[in-house]
Amino acid sequence: MFAILKIGGSVLCNKNIPYSIKWDNLERMAMEIREAMDYYLKREEKLKLILIHGGGSFGHPVAKRYIKNGRFENMDSGFWEIQKAMRRFNTLVIDTLHEYGVPGVSIQPSSFVAFRGKEVHFDTYVIEGMVERELVPVIHGDIVISNKKDYKIFSGDHILPYLSKKLKPDISLHASDVDGVLDLEGRVIKCINSENIRKVVKCLKTSEKEDVTGGMYLKVMEAYRMGVKVLIFNGNKRGNIYRGLIGDYSIGTKIN
């Protein structure tokens, strides 16, 4: 089984308090990944996994300080400040994975990813090699350079569809802080496809919280436009990460 799992920053952090970790959720995530690996081992199979995490209360508050009227400024310090905040978060995630015997290894996009116009330059050779060696690359949303000496936030919500399209996992999982994509009555939409996408778009709003990236709208549209199969579910609920990793698609919204 080859899975790509994105854990939203709001599952792992308290977004109202800079640099705060929800330790119970982080530990539970690591434990459920371990349990899913053991589930496959018992069946003489392997779980190959790439983990992606968002900016949470690390990247977002720092990035916000450097964005004025939609543009980055003072990036001589902003670039490394955002990179440093994300490195701190990534280290805490990876250290916790190691405590549960999950072989996480750090991948920091700001060091090698760039936008050339709308195209993203993102070489995945090393990531693929790590997965083949049964390591778990842990990639995070980050600041990256873009053309005309500018910068962009490279969100976990961009990374998930990009890697899914390129590496073709069996499942792409999006552990967010809601039960899935909700309709206007607050019910979970079980499946999004070409037949209902127009209706669904009306239910989607961009994030109103502290994020500098686009909330549920970005999650759904990026996945849909790239033709990637994604399951969006609530990562705060005990057992969901495990269930998603062992292929239980009943826990949220599936985008086809």
Nearer to ligand IP8, 61 or 252 (CB): 61
State which residue, 32 or 157, has the beta carbon closest to ligand IP8. 157
**Which amino acid makes up residue 204?**
L
What's the one-letter identity of residue 40? Y
Handedness of CA 233, 237, 243, 249 (dihedral sign): negative
160: amino acid identity, one letter: L
Closest CA to 87 of 65, 55, 64, 115: 55
**Using the rule CB under 6 A, is 63 a contact of ligand IP8?**
yes
Count of residues of this chain found to bind ligand IP8 when the rule CB under 6 A is applied:
17
Q: What share of the chain is helix, strand, coil (3-state, %, to 5)?
A: 45, 25, 35
Residues 157-176 that bind ligand IP8 (CB under 6 A): 157
Write out the two tokens for 84.
Answer: 């440093």
- Report in angstroms how near the CB of residue 141 gets to ligand IP8 at its nearest: 2
Task: Look up tokens 């050339």; give the residue.
Answer: 116
Restricting to residues 211-230, name those near ligand IP8 by CB under 6 A.
Answer: 212-213
Q: Residue positions in the annotated binding site for substrate? A: 55, 60, 156
* Choice from 48, 54, 102, 243 touching ligand IP8 (CB under 6 A): 54
Residue selected from 15, 48, 60, 254 as contacting ligand IP8 according to rule CB under 6 A: 60
Among 104, 109, 137, 156, binds ligand IP8 (CB under 6 A): 156
